[in-house]
Each structure stands twice: as structure tokens, then as C-alpha cells.
Structure 1
Amino acid sequence: MTSNRKRKLVIMLVLSVALLLSPITGTATVQAEGASNSYNYSFWGNTVVSPDAYDATKLLTGHNLGVGSLKDPSDLHVTADGHIYVLDSGNNRIIVLDDKFKLLHIIDSFEHAGQQDTFASPQGIFVTEHNQLYIADTGNKRVVHLDEQRQLVQIVDSPQSELLQANFEFKPVRVVVDKANRIYVMATGVFDGFMEFNANGEFTTFIGANRVNVDPLEYLWKTLSTREQRSQMVQFTPTEFTNLDINDEGFIYATNGDQWGDNIKKLNAQGTDILRREGYFNPTGDIRYRVTDGPSRMIDIDVTDSEIYSVLDSKRGRIFTYNGDGHLMYVFGGLGNQLGKFTTPVAIERVGDQMLVLDKALGEITVFETTAYGRTLNEAVRSYYRGDEEAAFQRYLETINMNANLEFAYSGIGKALLRQGNYGEAMKYFKESYDNKGYSKAFLLHRKEILRSYFPTIMTILVTLLLAIFVWRKVRKWKGGKKIVTIE
């Protein structure tokens, strides 16, 4: 076969695979451009209308906060008492607000070795429950740990380990800390996962490395290419993480830029992904999109109580919120120039049920408040999580009255009824939500309940029947044994 024919064959194969894959990756827009960005996905993958769960109510800028313009802010953190830490990276400072968005402090320096030290393009911030402050001081290639009084505790820099390459350059961009004071760092150029440091700031290991996921078209092209062509191609490497958060139990929720694998993960202490993916579709952002636009790119994640978590898509500026089972609860946000839209969203955080979204390019924070629909759905999920079946049942009923398209809410009602022991009624709601697993469980329990309720009657009939057969046989045998005497 000539080289030209080989080349034509390769092109034909690539085009054929592209045509086959195009409906998988998505052939429709998420929704028509319009006034509302509220939607969800049905069991069949269709985009369905949904009420607004959040409304944008306020826009915070450096000027109305009284701190001057924010320059390239990159991160947010909210403490348990509602204090808001804004990392104003371009101005090398941290702005601290209370839960009413009033200025409390500005942190732009600290004492180090008898002198005032400053930050250089810091990119990440984390505050523990004891108000210990950790800053990913990217430009200075270190993590700075300050105590509650903003005095220096330690500096983590230039880790030494056989696990690291000799030319490794430490550039931390995000940081979280667990209750055992272990420090987890996301660093630029690290493909082995998050860097774990002990409480003394010593590097110990990597956790949660992403798998290598390959674009099928690129893989096919590499397979059919010559050795010279392959040598000029980019090698397959694991995807870098894009952000992380940690919940009260010490589980790390993380996002990455993977387009072909799971771009949202929940990591345990061993770095194993234990995120539950029991929804109609895996938590991944938009499942329908133009092929030319591509899938969502998740760049931040915020985990709150009851295993509810929200992820930020930088590609389309939307926030997707999921429950602990992986069901999509609601979507809001978008790109644009009106209130509630963003230019370059980079971080999300919650203050109670309020949602804050940080826009890097505009130096603004958009404040979102829950609507009646959003509050009801949140409370339904929380009630079920804490085992309050009656409250969960009532809230889910209210939710579907406001949004009949939210199919997983029917499953929530079914689960609440299942816990209450109302198996027959639970089956109806599981069927409505296409929850085959829940329906099967309810069916087995319902069948067992029916058998148990009719068991005394069935046994009575059975014993009576057996006794009747026994008596009939005895009578028949007795009559058969009688001799008939004839007198002549």
C-alpha cells in the first residue's frame, strides 16, 4: 500500500470516529440564550426548565468596601463564624470582612526574622476552625502559616524528598488543612496529585493523582502515525487539579480539567476517589453542549453541610450544585455583563445559604440569595441527610409542587417513605423518578410485608387443609376396612 493511500485511510478513519463520537459529546446547546439560566436535566438527558434557586442581589467592589480597587483577586474563604477572607492577589493583601460585608482587617505583611515580610502574587488562602491562616504565597514559592493574632508560625518552602525531581520548583497555588493540621497543597506543574505536608511543614507524600485519560481521536492518530510523527506529538500526562476544598470530616473535594474522565472527586485519606455518582449522570457540569464549545471546565469547588457541594464552570460561568448522591440540584450564573453574570469567575464560597462568586477580571464579588425554591430544596436534602424523614417528605413535596421537572425529588420522597416503612407508596415515587435501585428495594420490602401480613391466614388455611386431608384419609381407610356380612 502506498503512503498516499495510507494517509487517506487514516484521514477516513479519524473522520469516521469523529462522526461517531459527536453525538456522545453533545450535539445541542445547553439552552437558548435568554433571560434565565435555570435548568436541569431529565433522566433522558433532555434540558428541562427549572425555577431560579438563587437570585443575584448585590455586587461588592473594592470601592464600596472602602479598600480601593481589587486587582486580580484569586481566592475566597469563609470561616464558620461567617468571616470572609478575600485574597487580593494583585495588591498582595488579604481583606477580611464580617458576614454583613463590613471591613474588619487588611493583612498585607507579617513579622519574619525581625523584619516586615510581604506576599508576592499569593493565589490561595485557607483558615482553620481555630483561625489559623495559611496563604499559598506563589510568587515567593512558599506557604505562610499565621496564627490567630497574625503572627508567623512557620513557612513551608522548597520541600526535599526523593519523590521530587532534582529541578523541582515549588509554586503553591491552593492550600487546605485538615483537623490533624496536615497541609495539602496544589502546586503548579505537579501531576502526581496534591502535596501532603505534616504539621511541622515536612513533605510526606502525594495523594489523589489523576489517571491519564486520552482523547480517543488523539489516541487513534498516535496509533496510526509513524515513529517520527509520534516523536513530535505531546506525550499523554495526567491532568492537573484546578482546585480543592475540605469538609469537616477531612475529605478533600477536588476539581480538575479532565474532559474525558471524572472532573470532580472526593478523596479519602489514602487519596482514593469515593465520590458517589448515583445520579442520572455523573457530576461533571453540563452534559449537553456544542461540540465546538466542549464540556465544562471546573475551576473551583465549595462543600457545605449535608454533603452538598457546588462547582464553578469557568467556560460558561455557571455554578452546579449536587447532593451527596450526585444528583444535580440546580444551576445558576453565566457569562455576561449584567448582575448575576461574570467575566472571569475564579472562586465560589458560601456564607450560610448565600453564595459568593469572585470575578478576577472585574475585581468584584457577586452575592446570591436563595429563592423560596432554593431554600426548600436545600432543606429537603438536609432533612433527609440528618434522618428527619417527615421533614424531608414534606419539603420534597413542596419542591415538586414548585418544579415538577425535578425528577430526583420524587426519588427523595420515595427514600423518605422507605425509611418510614411505607414501601408500597415509595414504589410509586421511585417509578416516577426512574430510580430502579430504589424501586427494587421497596418492592422486595413491600412483598415481604405483604407475605408477613397474610402469613397467619395462609398458615391457618394450610393447616386446615392438611388436617382435612388427614381426616378424609382416615375416614376413607376406616370405611374401606369394614366387611359387609350377607345373611342367606
Structure 2
Amino acid sequence: MIFSFMIHMKPISANAHVDVPSYNYSFWGDSIAAPDAFKAATLIQGDDLKFGAFKEPNDLFVTEDKTIYVMDSGNNRVVIMDKEFKALDAIDSFENENKTETFSNPQGIYVTEDKHIFIADTGNNRVVHLDQHYHLVGIIEKPESELLKEDYVFQPIRVVVDNADRVYVMAAGVFDGFMEFNVNGEFNTFIGANRVQIDPIELLWKRLSTQAQRSQMMMFIPTEFTNLDINSEGFIYATNGDDSSDKIKKLNARGTDILRREGYYSPIGDIRYPHDVGPSRLIDIDVTDSEVYSVLDSKQGRIFTYNGDGHLMYVFGGLGNQIGLFHTPVAIERVDDSFLVLDKTVGEITVFRETDYGHTINEANRSYYQGDEEKAFQLYKKAIELNANLEFAYTGIGKALLRQGDYKGAMENFKQSLDQKNYSKAFLLYRKELLRDYFPALMTIILVSAIGMIGFRTYRKMRKRKKGIAIE
């Protein structure tokens, strides 16, 4: 059945807004205050819809034309809105061989450029593929493979599709990576398995224990992924639930992690955190243009955004009962330059709007990525004026100057941001430039000096000979 309705939006009043301290991390790992990059602006709820409120929603998806899809899991349906947050349709069933079928606790959704919809229908152990008119195209069920145990239960949680129509599924209880299916829905292989995290002490005990004792110990198995997204180039960005330095991965077609980690710290969320809370647990990831990606931390409700080199750009969000904070955030998406954050417990979406500070950083990164070094240079300078503690902006300026051939200026900015790697690169180029510029003069001086020395020695020898002849 397909519904059409209007959705309720609550604008956030000034006195209802809560300002959560924003921050970044310095080279030394200290948290330093930063201006807000995003502020909560609108709250989307479904309380006064005749079909009822959102119930335990789990996922969001935004298409290129800014159509918004909400996986309303508790109501076993997909709610569709336009970019103005006006509801268009809801899908809670489809026809399959003249029979009406429904969803059961669906968890994930992905929509292709031609509006084909892939739904991780978790409770029914399948992935449902619908076309742009919500007609059934195909169903992916438990794959037949020697790589899976006979008693394995297929429970898809998230799904993405690449430009070649390959389907990648994150399924519960799978430790071998993502399941890859071809265009016909046939299982190909697993890709991108997480590395096994081994405790050295436990490994030593295992080696010293008897076989009976080892059988009672915990096995070393890879951790499960917690979410995934895919960019326009077909690279899969994924998060996992362990405490390693590679909580975020960028996987190529072979499943190899090619994420750049050139920031002060690996992209892992919070560097410092309360001991009773522990490190960030990243449960969702959203990839936008210019290699920028954002991740959601379920423990403290914060959204961390990184550029393509792995520098932390800004942080916002948090847990609490006020607008702009969350109870159980489960998904994030972007609509233009706004963020959508889905809260599972209260069944609502908070819309965050870009501030001038956030816009400046985003545009600076975008300009550099597009090759407009001069604009990037000016915007990074403005970002520093807005936040003198934004150390990575000096790296951005340095890179812009490096591309422009101003190696000395690049060195100065890399020194400011303590970026040793890029400083060394700029220094080598600056030294080559000096040698190239002064090489002719230097060689002339060397040549003249050499001729002068030869001439002087010849002159001294001639004088010695004359003196010897005069004495005789």
C-alpha cells in the first residue's frame, strides 16, 4: 500500500536551542574550543500524521535530487519526503506473483540514481529490490556458498549498490566482511574483512595452555562492521565496532583499505573521553563530495567530520533531552549543506544547518579538492580568522601554496601546523628551486674561482722559476 501525507515540522526557537561546546584536537591531543560548524534548526516528527509517528526508525537515505527516504522499521515501512521535508509517499508492501507481501523489521535502505530501492528486510531474511514505481524487481535471499555454514541465518542489516549494479550487504553474524552479489542477485564473495584483533597476553596463555583449556577460551575472530556507505566512484566507506586505529575504512574493488590517515590522529572519533564511557563506537557513516565523510558516535551522540586526508574538520551533537541533542542517534545523512540526524528512541529527525564557520571550512576543502588553490587559500585564511586554533587549516594553506609553487610559504604554514611530512616535501622542492635559480651564477663563480686558482698557481710557479734563474 502506498500513502501520501504531510509531515509535521517544528522550527527550533531561540530559547529552546541548546549550545553544546564544540571542539577540535590539537597536535598534542588536547581538546580545544571551536566555533559551531552546524546548529540545530528544524525538528521533523510524525506525531500528528494520521498514519502515526515514526516507530524505532533505523536508517536514512538521500538521493541526488534530494529526495529523503526514512526506514521506519517499527512500522515496517519506508517514508519518502522531498527536500522541503514534505512527505510524498510511504511503502509498506509490494506485489510478488500476485500476492501482497509486507516487510518485517526492515533495517537498511539504499536508492540508486534511477530510483531503484533496495531494502534490507531483516525479519524476512532477504533484500528486496523495487523499481522506481515500487514494483518488485528481485529478491536476494540466503546465498548458497561453501563459505557459509549450513545453519547460517541470513539477516541483512545494511545495503549499498555500486555503479555496476553490484549489491553489497552487511549482515548480522558475518565476520568475513561484506557480502557481494552480482547484478542478478547471485553471491560472488566477501570483501573487506576486518583484521583480527589479538590480545598478546591472551595469545601467550593460549600457547601455554592445554588443548582442553584452549577450547574453553575465546576465539580470535574479526569484528563485525557497523555500517557502510558508497561514493560516486564506487569506493565503500565502512565503520566497525572495535577499538582499533582503523575504525573507518575506505575499500576499493579488491576490498583493500586505502583510507588516508594523515591527520594528527587516525579518524576514530574522540581522542579523549571519560573512562566510564570509553572510546567512540561508530555506527554510521555518510560520504559527501570532495572526499569528506562524517561518522556518528553512538556513545556520546557526536558527529565527527573528516577531510580526505583524515584531518578532523569539526564536531557537533551530543546526548541529552534538549533540541540539538539525541537519545539514541542511529543514522546521519546530508541534504545539500545540511545534516539530518535520525533518533531511534523518540522517532524524530533533527536538521542541522551550516554556520558561516562550517561553510568556510567546507568551501575551503571543496575548492582545494577542485583545484582552485587561490580560493582555497583565501578561505583557509578566513577559517583561521574565525578559529585561530584550527591547526589543520595551516596545512590546507600550505598545500594550496605548494600547488602554486610558493614552496617557502608552504614551509612556513606546514611548520605552523607541525606537519613534518609535508614540510619535508616543501623543503626539498624549495631547495631544488634555489639550486635551479642560482645554478648558473653558482657555476660561474665556481668556474671563475677555479680559473683564478689555476692562474694564481701558474703565476707563483713562474715567479719561483724567475727567482731561481736570478740567483744562479
Contact kept, 8 Å, 1:37 with 1:334, in 2: the verdict is no
1:194 to 160, 167, 178: 178
Distance 1:483 1:214 in 2: 87
> What is the match of residue 336 of structure 2?
352
Within 5 Å, give how 1:19-168 maps onto structure 2: 35-63=19-47, 67-168=51-152
SS in 1 for 2:47: helix
1:403 aligns to 2:387 (yes or no): yes
Contact kept, 8 Å, 2:245 with 2:266, in 1: the verdict is no
Offset at residue 110 of structure 1 (A): 1.2
1:296 aligns to 2:280 (yes or no): yes
So what's the TM-score if we normalise by structure 1? 0.89
Distance 2:270 2:401 in 1: 31
1:372 aligns to 2:374 (yes or no): no
Offset at residue 466 of structure 1 (A): 2.4
Distance 1:67 1:94 in 2: 12
Offset at residue 164 of structure 1 (A): 1.2
Q: Deviations over 1:246-299 (max 9, x none)?
A: 000101001111123521111111111111111100000111112332111010
Q: Which amino acid aligns with 2:422?
A: G
Distance 1:366 1:225 in 2: 53
Indicate how the Cα distance of structure 1 residues 214 and 479 shifts in structure 2: closer, same or farther if over 3 A, else same: closer
1:315 aligns to 2:295 (yes or no): no
Contact kept, 8 Å, 1:134 with 1:143, in 2: the verdict is yes
Offset at residue 36 of structure 1 (A): 2.4
SS in 1 for 2:260: coil
Q: Deviations over 1:57-80 (max 9, x none)?
A: 011011366752101101000000
Indicate how the Cα distance of structure 1 residues 367 and 422 shifts in structure 2: closer, same or farther if over 3 A, else same: same
Which shows bigger deviation, 219-228 or 207-216?
Answer: 219-228
Indicate how the Cα distance of structure 1 residues 64 and 320 shifts in structure 2: closer, same or farther if over 3 A, else same: farther
Contact kept, 8 Å, 2:334 with 2:340, in 1: the verdict is yes
> What is the match of residue 424 of structure 1?
408
Q: Which amino acid aligns with 1:63?
A: D
Indicate how the Cα distance of structure 1 residues 381 and 64 shifts in structure 2: closer, same or farther if over 3 A, else same: farther
SS in 2 for 1:63: coil
Offset at residue 471 of structure 1 (A): 3.5
2:230 to 224, 227, 246: 246
Distance 2:190 2:446 in 1: 66
Within 5 Å, give how 1:471-486 maps onto structure 2: 471-476=455-460
Within 5 Å, give how 1:442-481 maps onto structure 2: 442-476=426-460
Give the RMSD, CA atoms, in angstroms: 2.1
1:203 aligns to 2:162 (yes or no): no
* Structure 2, unaligned runs of 5 or more: 1-17
So what's the TM-score if we normalise by structure 2? 0.91
Q: Which amino acid aligns with 1:177?
A: V
> What is the match of residue 6 of structure 2?
none
Offset at residue 468 of structure 1 (A): 2.5
Contact kept, 8 Å, 2:245 with 2:267, in 1: the verdict is no
SS in 1 for 2:284: strand
Contact kept, 8 Å, 2:167 with 2:185, in 1: the verdict is yes
Contact kept, 8 Å, 2:20 with 2:318, in 1: the verdict is no
Q: Deviations over 1:107-156 (max 9, x none)?
A: 11111101221111110000011111100011111111011111111111
Q: Deviations over 1:426-468 (max 9, x none)?
A: 1111011010011111111111212222222222222222232
> What is the match of residue 14 of structure 2?
none
Contact kept, 8 Å, 1:65 with 1:103, in 2: the verdict is no
Indicate how the Cα distance of structure 1 residues 402 and 221 shifts in structure 2: closer, same or farther if over 3 A, else same: farther
Distance 2:239 2:49 in 1: 30
Q: Deviations over 1:406-434 (max 9, x none)?
A: 11111111111111111111111101101
2:196 to 207, 212, 217: 212
Contact kept, 8 Å, 1:37 with 1:333, in 2: the verdict is no
Distance 2:338 2:227 in 1: 21
Distance 2:212 2:162 in 1: 48
Distance 2:188 2:203 in 1: 35
> What is the match of residue 389 of structure 1?
373
Aligned length: 453
